[in-house]
Amino acid sequence: MSSLYQVLTPAGELTAAIDGRLDESMMINMYEQMVRVRLFDRKSIHLQRQGRMGTYAPFEGQEASQVGSALALKPGDWLFPTYRDHAAAIVHGQSMARVFLYWMGHMEGSISPKGLNIMPPCVPIATQMVHAVGTAWASKLQNEQHVSLAYFGDGATSEGDFHEALNFAGVFQTPTIFFCQNNGYAISVPFSQQSASKTIAQRAAAYDIPGVRIDGNDIFAVWLTMQEAVERALNGQGPTLIEAVTFRYGAHTTADDPKKYRDQEKLAKEWRSERDPIQRLRTFLVRRGLWNDAKEAELIARANEQIDAALAEAESYPKSRPEDMFKHVYAEPTWMAVEQEGELAKPAKKEDIPA
């Protein structure tokens, strides 16, 4: 159970044949998507530092896990992201402008494009897992060919919702895919202090469902594993728990300082220099004659142009207002919401303003 399923090594070499399973156009698409979202991530951090965006949760280092898994979905499938899975949401069809809006504090940043079932980013830890089981069960009851994909981190596996979701999914054999990005840290707490179990994948045995542990920085392994999980789910064989072992290079959020609880220099060398998901795929593509510096430059220019256009769209959006918090909650406002919104609209009394 401790071994990792790996197809593409950090050196960019194959450990298993992929002929007939992955074509060249998909490989190039994988690479382009990973580069695009990494540039988006870096831009977002700069925007937060400039005061143009609120606290932001970066994901650099986890691109293979998010891109590879999202590429395995069909438009009607359900995607349940955490506050860190905007790369997966973008790959599945969410506009970058909407993602910017979310981090700028706009409720409209959570709206899913028409025809796609992308749920709003979930900040409470692990609660989205139970929701994903619910939509999957509904799909099963209605004989729909859709899966529900729930993202979560290693810290979420210490929550009761994790166990409730896996138990319910196992009992009712729902077409749910539980995708854990094991970053090794739940903010500042290393996995060794979160659980006595050596892996997350092994916990699947308690619910009699498949558990797979993969190299989360190997996009081929991620995509192929997801393909098998989707096929199993749609064939009525129930859920799958996937543990993707990866590493987020930066802070938990822009309000965090990871140097206080982990050796950033050592980990940067181990993960960024030796296991980077983008570099390993680029090495592979270059060796096959599918990529070169000219294509790289064109991709970066095109991606930056898309990101800048999305930012301009988001920043031209009307400023959010405090009363917007009452929108998108109930179809018909409750008397309490009406009362609270009325209280908010009242001018503040002088005695209520702190000196």
Alpha-carbon distance of 39 to 29, in angstroms, equals 15
**Residue 324 pLDDT level (bands cut at 50, 70, 90):** confident
| SS3 labels along 239-278 | CEEEEEECCCCCCCCCCCCHHHCCCHHHHHHHHHHHHCHH
| 78-80 vs 148-153, strand pairing mode | parallel
pLDDT at residue 96, as a whole number: 98
Q: Which tens digit of pLDDT belongs to each residue from 76-120?
A: 999 999 999 999 999 999 999 999 999 999 989 999 999 999 999
Give me the domains of the chain, ranges plus CATH numbers: 6-318 (3.40.50.970), 320-354 (no CATH)
- 201-219 in b/e form (b: 16+ CB < 10 A) is bebbeebebbbbbbbbbbb
Q: Annotated active-site positions, please?
A: 248, 252, 261
| Partners of residue 82 on adjacent β-strands | 122
pLDDT at residue 313, as a whole number: 98
Task: Give the residue from 143, 154, 164, 130 showing the smallest Cα distance to 247.
Answer: 154
Mean pLDDT confidence for 148-155: 98
Asked whether 101 and 109 are in contact (CB, 8 A), the reply is yes
Mean pLDDT confidence for 251-259: 95
pLDDT at residue 1, as a whole number: 44
**192, pLDDT greater than 80:** yes
Percent of the chain, pLDDT > 70?
98
Alpha-carbon distance of 321 to 109, in angstroms, equals 14
pLDDT at residue 323, as a whole number: 87
**11, pLDDT greater than 70:** yes
- 91-111 in b/e form (b: 16+ CB < 10 A) is bbbbbbbbbbbbbbebbbbbb
**Residue 19 pLDDT level (bands cut at 50, 70, 90):** confident
Mean pLDDT confidence for 121-132: 97
Alpha-carbon distance of 97 to 331, in angstroms, equals 26
Instruction: For residue 32, give the 3-state DSSP assignment.
Output: helix
pLDDT at residue 347, as a whole number: 82
| 117-118 vs 78-80, strand pairing mode | parallel
Task: Give the residue from 202, 280, 278 showing the smallest Cα distance to 8.
Answer: 280
Asked whether 156 and 84 are in contact (CB, 8 A), the reply is no
* The residue to which tokens 């998010």 are assigned: 66
Alpha-carbon distance of 114 to 16, in angstroms, equals 39
Alpha-carbon distance of 122 to 159, in angstroms, equals 14
Mean pLDDT confidence for 250-263: 94
* The residue to which tokens 């929550």 are assigned: 159
Alpha-carbon distance of 116 to 105, in angstroms, equals 22
Mean pLDDT confidence for 159-181: 98
Please work out, in degrees rounded to the nearest 5, the angle formed at the alpha carbon of residue 92 by the alpha carbons of 245 and 168.
60
**23, pLDDT greater than 70:** yes
Alpha-carbon distance of 25 to 18, in angstroms, equals 13
Alpha-carbon distance of 214 to 201, in angstroms, equals 9
Asked whether 244 and 214 are in contact (CB, 8 A), the reply is yes
